[in-house]
Structure 1
């Protein structure tokens, strides 16, 4: 019986080197395919967190402004000042404070006071504001006047 000669060590090293080079090539291709998806996920998560923070900031400003307005001595100017101060502290740009129920001083005790605070997403986007459609986020709070 003829037994084929065993491969030499140098031949084994060459084939092992080719296999390692192929593996590095496959890893580079996988990285090139996956990197854009990973970047998109990271930037999307940052944008989503930014919009959630914006919505929460609008909610807090509307709540605190309405609390100021429902006091028996409250006025639109005081409530608006309170809401704008909160929005400024949270770096919310281009926000609008609006009293849906009208002048707070003219509202009787026990009636509803409605305050809306809105801001555009494009002006408050840290990353891709120019790539995402502009929308106005709005927070509305209804409280009964004291």
Structure 2
């Protein structure tokens, strides 16, 4: 009879230890899961900005390319990937008199607070910036 009481006491003790371990590990595990989701949103936004900058630079440096067409293409790529608030900057200004061999740089900036999963406490609001440089053909 005494051995039964001991076994019950040990079993209850093990359950209590498991509950405490769970209570300690759950917040850490939750932070890791939501942090991973937030970081994946940031990586996706960076890739979308790179794709938009590349497409804009390709149009701006092609023969007969214009800055207006390049900006429109960058906006199309950002909209297709559901990126909000992105801005496109093209330097130097692309025009018909631009000589061949000129390096054109396209910079896309995306605000992270508009394109996250709503978990800005993990990754503070920042500007995600990508640049592509191409030579005018």
TM range (shorter): over 0.9
The one of 94, 113, 122 equivalent to 2:85 is 94
Question: For residue 71 of structure 2, what is the aligned residue in structure 1?
Answer: 80
Structure 2 length normalisation: TM-score? 0.94
Structure 1 length normalisation: TM-score? 0.88
The one of 92, 99, 110 equivalent to 1:108 is 99
Extract structure 1 runs of 4+ deviating beyond 6 A: none
Question: For residue 3 of structure 1, what is the aligned residue in structure 2?
Answer: none
Q: Which moved more, 1:44-53 or 1:24-33?
A: 44-53
Q: How does 1:18-33 map to 2 (within 5 A)?
A: 18-33=9-24
Unaligned stretches of 5+ in structure 1?
Answer: 1-9
The one of 33, 45, 51 equivalent to 1:42 is 33
The one of 4, 10, 17 equivalent to 1:13 is 4
Q: What is the RMSD computed on CA atoms of the aligned residues?
A: 1.3
Report which structure shows greater RCO (CA 8 Å, sep ≥6).
2
Deviation at 1:23, TM superposition (A): 0.2
Q: Which moved more, 1:105-114 or 1:125-134?
A: 125-134
Report whether the alignment pairs 1:117 with 2:108. Answer: yes
Question: For residue 71 of structure 1, what is the aligned residue in structure 2?
Answer: 62
Question: For residue 129 of structure 1, what is the aligned residue in structure 2?
Answer: 120
Quick one: distance in 2 between partners of 1:29 and 1:137? 40
Larger Rg: 1
Quick one: distance in 1 between partners of 2:95 and 2:104? 7
